[in-house]
Amino acid sequence: AQGEVLERLRAAGGHAPVAELVRDRPSLRGAVDRLAELGALRIEEEREARMPGVMAGEVAARPEPTGDQDRVLHVLREAIAGGGYSPFVLHGVTGSGKTEVYFRAAEAAVEAGRGVILLLPEIALTPLLVRAAVGRFGPTVAVLHSELSGGERHDQWWRIREGESRIVIGARSAVFAPVPDLGLLIVDEEHEGAYKQEDSPRYHARDVAVMRAKLESVPVILGSATPSLESHANAAKGKYRRLALPVRIGPRGLPRVEVVDRRETMKAGADPILTPPLREALAECLARKEQSLLLLNRRGYATSLLCRECGQQASCPNCSVFLTLHRGGRHALCHYCGYQVPAPSACAFCRGEYLRLTGYGTEKVVEAVQSALPGARVGRLDRDLAMRRGAVEKVLADFETGEIDVLVGTQMIAKGHDFPKVTLVGVIDADVGLGMPDFRAAERTFQLLTQVAGRAGRADLAGEVILQSHLPDHYALRLACAQDYEGFFEREMEFRRTMGYPPSAALVNLVLRSRDPAAAAADADAVARRLREGAPGRYRVLGPARAPLARLKQEHRFQILLKGDRTSMREAVRRALVERYGETRWPGVAVDVDPVSVM
């Protein structure tokens, strides 16, 4: 290996970055060190000037901490200086200044000579936070994001491993970054589902962060305006320590919330997308030259194509879902497998030609705003846009500089950084997530509404939120409007306890799939029977049943849910699968322990 290294070094002209030398064979890294010890070569430190693309940061003044921030930081600094595993839940309402707490805690760790990992749910949606961090900490920041090329990613990992980068910012996989002498882990927006990797290897980056903090004996901060039920329950049990930032910074306080009952406006024959109160508020906001956000958590133009002759809807040939219409209704797309075709002109069932677009998504909302407010500059932010490289950054930058008056989007708009000129937030249909057959539906709705409402009004401008709903009495909506986290937690925990759902019990979701529905059903029956025979009393077995997404990518899916003691369930599932399939390969089986979603 040493000969190989010297050979490569000679070929490179006697001088090369370490990372370049071992790029295709990382195992040579040890030989480089040994040669350096022998004096055969010298490793010189050289600062890499090039920072990847979007991440140039301007140096901003460090804001003076408020009293609340000071109190929280005092506790964190002690934990960082003292070392040892200590998990914190930082519960800070939107606009309370969590970011400044992260930055100052990171400074404390770096000053003590330790490294820091800061996890964000999605890097592209928080360019302001990333830029602020780069501006604040300079070249010691490494940013791991999905648009890095393989080579850039490799460079970043080496810089981290060599201790050149002491602060690592990245999405979920950055939790594995090889930071030497780690001193602090921070998980921002810890309640976000994006931290869960949904295909193998399945892991939840928040849980990995807590485990890593335990293994490396360091503090970990889980921050959110709406902590997950899991984390809040752990804090209530005393497993985590709770830190609070209960008030918004600035003179204005939380925004005023108005709920529009769509059942009433429908009866009055009003536009279903922009009800009169929302339309007026938009016009006033535009006249004041301030900005608005409009949330609809459903992308596309129309939700389905309905045949008026037979009542059937155009559906995906591979999945048991309806096709969504995009690009003004000209294009039909499956959101689950990516199947796409030009919108059919005749019904696939009866060949009828009277087809009607039903429902609406973000594209249609843009159209509605443009026709209601002809002078407004309207932008859109959703997954369709995110397919184009750099498009998300462009829209966010245009919104930040005031090139866009009204930004329409899915949940992606609820997650960004603060936009100080946004004074109006409209939620077109607050009920979108509540109909999902998933035990976290209410929690996700509460979180999304609380987060998006928190985007209204910052700095010196008062904020207003208008929420349109068919279910204005639903507790998730009512409590989100009141920004009553504790109230929601109590209510939702009661539901979880009654139903035996996390965090009151552990859950395992077992999905068995096959192109042959009979084979999948037979496997599911056999595995469920075996599970019922094992360890009575330690867990309960529900199913098998057809999964809510009964067919996906041409495969039929059956689901078995287990509730109870995690260790017993894990063991029992392993035994049952080994018995059915043997030790090594379990084709078409997905075992999801602590699932984020059970679709």
For residue 81, state whether it binds Zn ion (rule: CB under 5 A). Answer: no
Separation between Cα atoms, residue 581 and residue 127, nearest integer Å: 47
CB 294 within 8 A of CB 406: yes
For residue 40, state whether it binds Zn ion (rule: CB under 5 A). Answer: no
CB 446 within 8 A of CB 226: yes
Separation between Cα atoms, residue 547 and residue 243, nearest integer Å: 39
Among 164, 216, 258, 309, binds Zn ion (CB under 5 A): 309
Segment lying near Zn ion (by CB under 5 A), choices 17-25, 351-359, 491-499, 586-594: 351-359
Among 123, 167, 235, 316, binds Zn ion (CB under 5 A): 316
Q: What is the 3-state secondary structure of 55-124?
A: HCCCCCCCCCCCHHHHHHHHHHHHHHHHCCCEEEEEEECCCCCHHHHHHHHHHHHHHCCCEEEEECCCHH
For residue 344, state whether it binds Zn ion (rule: CB under 5 A). Answer: no
Among 244, 261, 329, 339, binds Zn ion (CB under 5 A): 339
For residue 495, state whether it binds Zn ion (rule: CB under 5 A). Answer: no
Number of residues that bind Zn ion (CB under 5 A): 15
Q: Rounded to a whole number, what is the distance in angstroms from the first to the last CA of the chain?
A: 50
State in angstroms the smallest separation of the CB of 353 from Zn ion: 9
State in angstroms the smallest separation of the CB of 324 from Zn ion: 10
Among 9, 211, 337, 526, binds Zn ion (CB under 5 A): 337
For residue 319, state whether it binds Zn ion (rule: CB under 5 A). Answer: yes
Phi, psi of 214 (to 5 degrees): -65, -45
State in angstroms the smallest separation of the CB of 372 from Zn ion: 33
Segment lying near Zn ion (by CB under 5 A), choices 13-21, 259-267, 305-313, 450-458: 305-313
Residue whose tokens read 């921030």: 69
For residue 550, state whether it binds Zn ion (rule: CB under 5 A). Answer: no
For residue 318, state whether it binds Zn ion (rule: CB under 5 A). Answer: yes
For residue 307, state whether it binds Zn ion (rule: CB under 5 A). Answer: yes
Other CB atoms within a 10 A radius of the CB of residue 45 amount to 6
Separation between Cα atoms, residue 337 and residue 118, nearest integer Å: 32
State in angstroms the smallest separation of the CB of 358 from Zn ion: 14
For residue 336, state whether it binds Zn ion (rule: CB under 5 A). Answer: yes
Among 85, 176, 349, 586, binds Zn ion (CB under 5 A): 349
| Parallel/antiparallel/unpaired status of strands 241-245 and 86-92 | parallel
Q: Which residues contact 95 (CB under 8 A, 6 or more apart)?
A: 248, 249, 250, 418, 454, 458
Among 346, 350, 462, 482, binds Zn ion (CB under 5 A): 350
Tokens of 531: 């599970």
Task: Report the DSSP beta bridge partners of residue 427.
Answer: 295, 467
**DSSP 8-state assignment for residue 344:** P
Segment lying near Zn ion (by CB under 5 A), choices 104-112, 184-192, 231-239, 350-358: 350-358
**DSSP 8-state assignment for residue 248:** -
Among 11, 310, 341, 462, binds Zn ion (CB under 5 A): 310
Among 160, 184, 187, 334, binds Zn ion (CB under 5 A): 334
In the bound state with Zn ion, the residue whose beta carbon lies nearer, of 76 and 333, is: 333
Spacing of C-alpha 288 from chain mean position: 33
State in angstroms the smallest separation of the CB of 315 from Zn ion: 9
The site for Zn ion (CB under 5 A) is made up of 307, 309-310, 312, 316, 318-319, 334, 336-337, 339, 347, 349-350, 352
